[in-house]
Amino acid sequence: MTTQSIFGRNRYWPHTRTCEGSRGIVVRDGLLLVSYEQNTDWLVLPGGGLEPGETHAACAVREIREETGFLVETEEEFLVLSEYYGEVRYVSHYFVCSVTGEAAQALTPEEAARGLVPRWLPVREAYDAFSRHADFEGVWEEKRGAYLREFTALGVWLGR
C-alpha cells in the first residue's frame, strides 16, 4: 500500500483536527465509476466520511452505495492519502472495488440539490479531467483540491 500527502498553501502546522473517509476505484467493462454533480459539472471518485465505529472498507462500501446506487465489495486498499488544508488533515483511504449488485441511491439533501448522479467514464477520460486541477487554482479551490486528490489517487492506481 502507498501513502502520500498533499500540502495546501493555507495549511497550519501542526494540524489541529483530522477527518477520515474512504473512496473507491470501481471499474466495470473498462469504465470507471464516478460521482458527477450535474449542477456544478464536478466529478469525484465515490466516497465520503467515516462514521463512528466503521471500518475504512465498510465506509467505502456504504458511501459508494449511497452516492451511486451500486453495491460493491472491496478487494484491496492501495492508497492512504493525507491532505493538509487550513488546520485540518483529511485522510482518504482508497480501495479497489468490484460491483456485486445495484440498489437505490441514498443521497443527502445537499447531494440531491447538487444533482449527484453516477457516471461510467473511460478511465483515461476521468484521469484527463482530474489532470486539469490547476485550472481551478485561485478560482475554485475546493474543486482544485478535489481534482488534485483524485488525479493523485488514479495516478497511483494506474502506476501499480
pLDDT over threshold 90, residue 10:
no
pLDDT tens-digit map of 52-93: 999 999 999 999 999 999 999 999 999 999 999 999 999 999
Which residue range is the domain that position 25 belongs to? 2-158
Q: How many domains does the chain have?
A: 1
* Distance, CA of 147 to chain centre: 9
CATH number for the domain including 89? 3.90.79.10
**Whole-number percent of the chain with pLDDT over 90:** 92
C-alpha cell at 138: 485561485
> Mean pLDDT score of the chain, rounded to an integer?
96
